[in-house]
Amino acid sequence: MITESVNPGSLDIDQKDSLGIVQIMNQNDQQVALAVQKVLPEIAQAVDLIVEAFHKGGHLFYIGAGTSGRLGIVDAAECPPTYGVEPEQVQGIIAGGDDAVFRAKEFAEDDPLQGWLDLQARGFTAKDVVVGLATSGRTPYTCGALKEARKIGAVTIAVFCNPDGRIRELADVSIVPVVGPEVVTGSTRLKAGTAQKMVLNMLSTASMIRTGRVIGNLLVDMKISCGKLQQRAVALLMRLADVSSEEAQKALEESGGVIRGALQKLQKGK
């Protein structure tokens, strides 16, 4: 597998000083965005399927083991505060359960049935979409989940970094950014993990934009949970409604902190 092969450019990385090590890492990381660029059509195709599922009342599930699973959980967790969706709309599942987010449970990835059981436990149905995250393209836990999800007619998407990964056979859409061997052999939390994070950013962000959760490039449905976001909401209302800071703040208070409600109120007052 490409992700398990030896990187000739970092064979002497253990002989480098700190600057030399991070220079090699940075040089390798620069390849990631270019690899993702090559699979933009597949990412867009996946977004279209996710949006279609959302319109039909479906949900988006990320599932994976190790770093892949953690990245899915990170992306899913950011959707409710950023876009105002319910926590069930985008969910992340990791092999080994929630404890594996904080402490690795490496052998949890070897059970193909457990992936499907974990999906079912979250209420997964045929109208939902599952994105399998597996840099190797062959993780049993993730492959098992996609195999069974496909059997019931759900949309299956796979994100992996080895072109020959068997998970391709189980996916309606395969997103395969080939980032090459890691600077530390097999440590796929590096380039492969970065590529996955970039793809997940696109899947969730583009899907939320397509479903009306953004006006222009502004987060009109974000949940205000701290002072920084309060200031951001006021600035957003000032820009969209062309009002003063005081007017924006008042409308926000009267709407119970709901930005979209405040915006409607301000626009009606024009």
Residue among 89, 68, 57, 98 nearest 200 (CA): 68
pLDDT in tens, 171-203: 999 999 999 999 999 889 999 999 999 999 999
Contact 168, 7 (CB under 8 A): no
Residue among 56, 73, 55 nearest 64 (CA): 73
**CB burial of residue 135 (10 Å; 0-12, 13-18, 19+):** buried
What DSSP string describes 82-97? HH---TTTEEEEETT-
Lay out the sheet containing 60-64: strands in order across: 90-94, 60-64, 129-133, 155-159, 173-175
Q: What are phi and psi of 140, to 5 degrees?
A: -55, -45
Residue among 190, 156, 189, 188 nearest 174 (CA): 156
- Report the pLDDT averaged over residues 6-23: 95
Highest mean pLDDT: which of 203-207, 214-218, 248-252? 203-207
From the candidates 42, 88, 106, 109, which is the catalytic residue?
A: 109
The pLDDT score that the predictor gives to residue 270 is: 61
Q: Residue 137, CB half-sphere, CA atoms under 13 Å: how many? A: 21
Q: For residues 226 and 221, give the distance between their C-alpha atoms in angstroms, rounded to a whole number.
A: 15
From the candidates 4, 42, 52, 78, which is the catalytic residue?
A: 78
Mean pLDDT of the chain: 94
Q: Does domain 8-210 have CATH number 3.40.50.10490?
A: yes
Contact 263, 240 (CB under 8 A): yes
Q: Residue 180, CB half-sphere, CA atoms under 13 Å: how many? A: 16
Question: Which residues in 44-72 are b (16+ Cβ under 10 Å) and which e?
Answer: ebbbebbbebbeeebbbbbbbbbbbbbbb
Q: For residues 42 and 173, give the distance between their C-alpha atoms in angstroms, rounded to a whole number.
A: 7
Q: For residues 142 and 182, give the distance between their C-alpha atoms in angstroms, rounded to a whole number.
A: 22
- Is the pLDDT assigned to residue 167 strictly greater than 90? yes
The pLDDT score that the predictor gives to residue 251 is: 93
Q: Is 169 a catalytic residue?
A: no
- Is the pLDDT assigned to residue 83 strictly greater than 70? yes
The structure's pTM equals 0.92
Q: Is 78 a catalytic residue?
A: yes
